[in-house]
Amino acid sequence: MTSFIGPFAVSFGIALFVLIMQFMWLYIDEIAGKGVSIFIMLELIGYLSISTFPMALPIAILIASVMVMGNLSERYELSSMKFAGVPLIRIMRGLILWGAATAIFSYLCSDFIIPIANLEFKSRLTDIRRQKPALALEKGIFNEDFRQFVIRIGDKAPDGETISDVMIEDQTNAGRVKFSKIMADSGQMYTTDNRRFFVMNLFKGTQYNEPATQGDKQNTKYPFVRTNFRSWTKVWDMKEFEMVSTDKDRFAGNRSMLSMNQLRLNIDSLQRVIETGKQAVATDLLTNLKRKPFKPQTNRQDSINRALTLQQQLKKSIKVKTGLAGQKASDPKSGDPNLVEKPQLAVQVLDKPLDQYTSFDQTFRQEDRGKLLKEAHNRSRGGISSVETRSAQIENLRMEYIKTGYELYIKYSFALVCFIFLFIGAPMGAIIRKGGFGYPILVSIIFFVTFIMLTILCRKLAEGYLMTPFWAAMVPCMVLIPIGTYLTRKAVNDSEIFSTDRLDRMLRWLRLRFQKKKEPGVS
């Protein structure tokens, strides 16, 4: 156990450093030039390092286990313990306990610590993004760091304070002043001791102002004002360059900033919303079909007569659905208001059976057909648009459901792989019988890259709806479990998968062959 702690700590530190640098390169352009203090940078790196724990821990377990068991096997200590009757699993007992503890720690980090670290990292990074770059007035460059002011310095002395050929354009009164500019031969600029204000003293200059016309006084002419001065002082508040804390509640609902219980609640909520959305598609279609249709202009008596004619023809055993909605109307012959239905759509008097008409619109009057077709076209377009909108919403919810589920189950996967890698690294170290950092790192890279490639592949399959989030997160572990079982069995039985001696002999032969070709006179 004690021989495992040292390599594990070194491997974990190296893996953590590599992963931090990998992520920091993504944000270096947004951080550079903002005048961020070293303490804020350390805070940002601290949050980022915590969020990379689930990836760094499996690498450390894999490298350390290969290194420790390889050292024992290379010095024949492992063989001596086996000859003494100590089985390999008993030798690995301390490593197994360490691997189980690491898996539990990874699970607890993913559930409790990492969501908080991700929230702090995101909010702090947003603060840096919103912060203005550090004030830097360079000669010959127009600087717009101060709001509504443009400053250009012709030359700057080595002391960083004495300046010359200064131009300042004031845009604070853009509505009332058309043109406002200050030109000075020399000056001095500095920041107060508490870095609260930036002061610029200008000497021997001129201020130009041209008032703008306002309102109904467009034809009024105002004088162009030019003011000479010996000394002019302008003070800017540096508060706009200070970092302002972002409200963390803005990012609290992000998937990577939720605990496992919160992710489960989100998954259940998304399931219910998706089911509700699917039901809403049918509801929208029914609502669109039940809209009050176009009602042609016709008098009440004509409607009654056409309804009676249609009713008589339908009684002749011609069972054809016409799709006409009706309302109750009174029968002029019987006087009973509940005997005859009054249709909303006016139809022409049918002089032949319905099955002899070539199209449905021929059952309506000629003057009503255009309006009815237009109404049907508008309804169909409205129904299609409603279905497409609802379908897009459901698609977005399904994708969010997949990503949320994957975010939940990948936490279990990274915790489980810490334990699985122990049964891959330790047997590989016993089999290859090589310690140090050479072969262990090579073997570890092969297996870890395999795991990462499987993770990315399964995630893409899940986002393509070819795999559920649970199986997408667990398949990489399930692929590694048989490999670990096979390697452990080979190591217990002292079986060699491959021998590095043959590889060493081949490399030695190639080296000697290459040296002979370099010697003069050797063909």
Give dist(CA 425, CA 61) in Å, integer.
8
The candidate with the shortest Cα–Cα distance to 420, out of 493, 487, 473, 498, is: 487
Q: Which amino acid is at 310?
A: L
Q: Are residues 121 and 12 in the same domain?
A: yes
pLDDT at 415 over 90: yes
Q: Are residues 87 and 183 in the same domain?
A: no
Whether 307 is covered by a domain: the verdict is: yes
pLDDT at 333 over 60: no
Dihedral sign from CA coordinates of 258, 260, 265, 271? positive
The verdict on pTM exceeding 0.75 is no
Whether 379 is covered by a domain: the verdict is: no
Collapsing DSSP to helix, strand or coil, 172 comes out as coil
pLDDT at 156 over 80: yes
Tell me which range, 143-152, 387-396, 503-512, is most confidently predicted by mean pLDDT. 387-396
Higher local confidence (pLDDT), 501 or 253 = 253
Whether 209 is covered by a domain: the verdict is: yes
Q: What pLDDT is stored for residue 478 in this prediction?
A: 94
Q: Are residues 228 and 154 in the same domain?
A: yes
The answer to whether 36 and 130 have CB atoms below 8 angstroms apart is no
The answer to whether 426 and 491 have CB atoms below 8 angstroms apart is yes
Q: Are residues 26 and 107 in the same domain?
A: yes
Confidence bin at 420 (pLDDT 50/70/90): very high
Whether 398 is covered by a domain: the verdict is: no
Q: Are residues 109 and 177 in the same domain?
A: no
Q: Could you say which of 364, 391, 413 is where a domain stops?
A: 364
CB atoms inside a 10 Å sphere around CB 440:
27
Whether 374 is covered by a domain: the verdict is: no
Whether 122 is covered by a domain: the verdict is: yes
Q: Are residues 120 and 207 in the same domain?
A: no
Q: Are residues 6 and 124 in the same domain?
A: yes
Collapsing DSSP to helix, strand or coil, 212 comes out as coil
Whether 386 is covered by a domain: the verdict is: no
Domain total for the chain?
A: 3
Give dist(CA 182, CA 202) in Å, integer.
9
Q: Are residues 57 and 125 in the same domain?
A: yes
Whether 438 is covered by a domain: the verdict is: yes
- Domain residues for the domain of 168 are 142-241
Q: What pLDDT is stored for residue 35 in this prediction?
A: 64
- pLDDT, tens digit (0-9, with 9 covering 90-100), for 341-384: 444 444 455 666 767 677 777 777 777 778 878 887 887 787 78
Collapsing DSSP to helix, strand or coil, 176 comes out as coil
- CA 144 and chain centroid, separation: 33
